[in-house]
Chains A and B, each alone.
Chain A
Amino acid sequence: MLPAFGSLLSVTIKDTAIASVIAVPELMRQSETVAGQSFQPIEVYTFAMLVYFVILFPVTRGVDRVYRRVAHLGRS
């Protein structure tokens, strides 16, 4: 059950980006705004990608690590 909650954590962080469609001023929304104002979508969206990755990669790695520690790995 723990790993399921762990992956739910990273899914939730990723899904916060959907809040941008109703103009919640989070990372995704601000990126859209800046990309629109600066006419530099490549730089802005690639940077946003990097930020999300830097936030999420440690989370998924941490979840994997916890999972390996608590998993039964073939034994039940």
Chain B
Amino acid sequence: MTLDWSVVWQHREALVAATGTTFLLTIATMVIAVPCGVGVAVLRLYGIAPVRSLATGYVELFRNLPLILVVYWAFYVVPILTGVGLSPLATGLAALALNVTAYNAETFRAGINSIRKGQVEAAMALGMSRAQALRRVVLPQALRRITPVLASTWVSLFKDTSLVSVIAVTELAYVAMQVRAQTFRVLEMLTAMALIYWLLGYPQAKLVDWIQRRYAVNE
């Protein structure tokens, strides 16, 4: 068996661009999923009855579906149902955002629930409305508590972006597989792909560890 590692270097530009897409997907998903997650969590906790069940239904649905199936579903079914044909990148982003929003909503709900009821009551006794108490008292504390969880969601998301390669989004996994198919250098490309993901993922995981130490709650 002869290995030809030069194939990795030859396709460096494509791989770098693909890595950029991977990061773009991760960042864009989080930018959408954090505010939407707060929204869904607040609706689920404080909304009127039908809105509450709708939010609960959404969270339970997307938490209980494989991401790869959501990606396929968004790719094949949404254009037929809505008549809107999105690019693979936008479709992949939508599927990731739907999935991560559901997870973030649960994280935010747990964070909000972890702040004692007495604090909202105290804030309301001081003349704040419920919304003010939520925004000024509960959410800042909750956000600090769930930062470590959001950070580990981030790392999972970074790796999960590889799943959108099944609908031909030109991110790292897809481009590496494409080069593999063109050059027949299977072992080299898969190893290079693993190495790139690891080198980028490891510092992020270490950063999460640091955030978890930094924001640990001691009660």
Residues of A participating in the B interface, judged by any CB pair closer than 8 Å: 10, 14-18, 20-21, 28, 31-32, 35, 41-42, 45-46, 48-49, 52-53, 56-57, 60
Contacts and interface: CB of A to CB of B under 8 A. Distances in A.
Given A17-B69, A45-B72, A52 B64 contact: yes
B159 to A, nearest CB: 11
5 contacts: A28-B72, A41-B77, A41-B80, A52-B65, A52-B66
Given A57-B60, A60-B63, A20 B68 contact: yes
The secondary-structure label for the interface of chain A is helix
A51 B72 CA distance: 15
B66 A15 contact: yes
B69 A18 contact: no
Contacts of A53: 61, 64-65
A27 to B, nearest CB: 9
A52 B76 contact: no
A60 B69 contact: no
Interface in B137-177: 163, 166
Chain B: number of interface residues, binned into ranges: 10 to 19
Contacts of B66: 14-18, 28, 52
B65 A49 contact: yes
Interface of B: 60-61, 63-69, 72-73, 76-77, 80-81, 163, 166
Contacts of A16: 66
B64 A41 contact: no
A23 to B, nearest CB: 13
A31 B81 CA distance: 19
The secondary-structure label for the interface of chain B is helix
A36 B120 CA distance: 54
A28 B76 contact: no
A49 B166 contact: no
Contacts of A14: 64-67
Contacts of B77: 41-42, 45-46
A7 B79 CA distance: 32
A28 B73 CA distance: 11
B163 A18 contact: yes
Contacts of B61: 53
A35 B76 contact: yes
B69 A52 contact: yes
Nearest to B156: A11
A57 B64 CA distance: 6
A45 B69 contact: yes
B76 A45 contact: yes
Most chain A CB within 10 A, of B65, B67, B163, is at: B65
Given A18-B163, A41-B76, A56 B68 contact: no
A56 B72 CA distance: 19
Most chain A CB within 10 A, of B61, B63, B69, is at: B69
